[in-house]
């Protein structure tokens, strides 16, 4: 599955919503370009994985990595939600909140956001080469540049780790931008502020481990995320 690392391939078909992923509300916010799905997933750090566990739904935040049209998840072999997901239909979602939309009426308050919902079957990855490649993909998604400078997982650690693959064929993307959609009467009444309060996330200054020995500098692949215009990417 990891052979296709392309993220923006013009030969890939557009998203074709199924009955499970067809928008029924605010259809104008839907996106069908696979590049939009890629962008939402690639910009996220955590997805929320929904599975049935013991006959009841449970949603667990999970880190992930994407290769082409496959999303990889990993977790402990002892994790109940991961074991419950094997070979079953799951749902996962990634959401970015870009701002709170303030309106003149409570009914029209909203948020600007980018979101993706994926439906599909979670497949247990057993091939050792693919498992290791997926582990690298997930680490590099969360911490670009880190894999090559740290110790890779050993045999014991790999044995304790489960890797799942989810096909991205069945997915929907929804995006809201712009200001409030107030009623004409509320606009005409005046006197109430309306607009957008943007939200953005920024990286803070790196904090070394308590047991970090003196003289070990913050690596460039970490520092560049704080000051991307001043350091080269390693």
All structural domains of the chain: 27-97+112-177 (2.30.110.10)
4 pLDDT above the threshold of 70 = no
Answer yes or no: are the C-beta atoms of 180 and 110 closer than 8 Å: yes
Give the CA distances from residue 75 to residues 60, 63, 64, 124, 132, in Å, rounded to whole numbers and listed in that order: 11, 9, 10, 12, 13
Say how many C-beta atoms besides its own lie within 10 A of residue 4's C-beta. 12
Asked if residue 150 has pLDDT above 70, the reply is: yes
Give the Cα separation of 200 and 99 in Å (integer).
8
Reported confidence tier of residue 227, pLDDT bands at 50, 70, 90: confident
Identify the pLDDT of residue 18.
72
Long-range contact pairs involving 9-12 (C-beta distance under 8 Å, separation at least 24): 9/68, 12/69
Structure confidence by residue, pLDDT tens digits, 80-125: 999 999 999 999 999 999 999 999 999 999 999 999 999 999 999 9
Grade residue 220 by pLDDT with cuts at 50, 70 and 90: very high
Burial class (CB in 10 A: 0-12, 13-18, 19+), 180: middle
Q: Residues 173, 174, 175, CA angle at the centre, nearest 5°?
A: 130
User: Quick one: pLDDT at residue 110?
Assistant: 96
Q: Is the pTM of this model over 0.95?
A: no
Torsion of CA 78, 142, 167, 169, to 10 degrees: 150
What would the pLDDT profile of 153-180 be if each residue is shown by its tens digit?
999 999 999 999 999 989 999 999 999 9
Nearby residues of 37 by Cβ (< 8 Å), 6 or more positions away = 15, 31, 116, 168, 171, 173
CA gap 123, 130 in Å, rounded: 12
């Amino acid at each position: 599955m990891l052979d296709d690392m392309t993220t923006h391939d013009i030969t890939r078909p557009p998203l074709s919503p199924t009955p499970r992923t067809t928008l029924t509300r605010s259809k104008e916010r839907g996106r069908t370009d696979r590049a939009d799905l890629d962008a939402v997933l690639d910009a996220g750090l955590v997805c929320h994985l929904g599975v049935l566990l013991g006959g009841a739904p449970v949603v667990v935040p999970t880190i992930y990595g994407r290769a082409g049209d496959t999303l990889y998840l990993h977790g402990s072999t002892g994790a109940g939600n991961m074991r419950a997901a094997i070979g079953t239909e799951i749902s996962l979602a990634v959401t970015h909140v870009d701002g709170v939309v303030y309106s003149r009426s409570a009914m029209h308050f909203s948020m600007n956001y980018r979101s993706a919902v994926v439906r599909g079957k979670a497949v247990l990855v057993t091939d050792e080469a693919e498992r290791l490649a997926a582990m690298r993909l997930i680490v590099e998604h969360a911490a670009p540049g880190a894999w090559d400078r740290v110790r890779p997982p050993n045999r014991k650690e790999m044995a304790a780790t489960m890797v799942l693959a989810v096909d991205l064929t069945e997915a929907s993307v929804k995006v809201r931008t712009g200001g409030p959609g107030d009623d004409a009467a509320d606009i005409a009444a005046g006197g109430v502020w309306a607009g957008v309060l943007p939200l953005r996330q920024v990286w803070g200054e790196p904090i070394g481990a308590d047991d970090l020995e003196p003289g070990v500098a913050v690596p460039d692949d970490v520092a560049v995320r704080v000051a991307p215009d001043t350091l080269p990417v390693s």
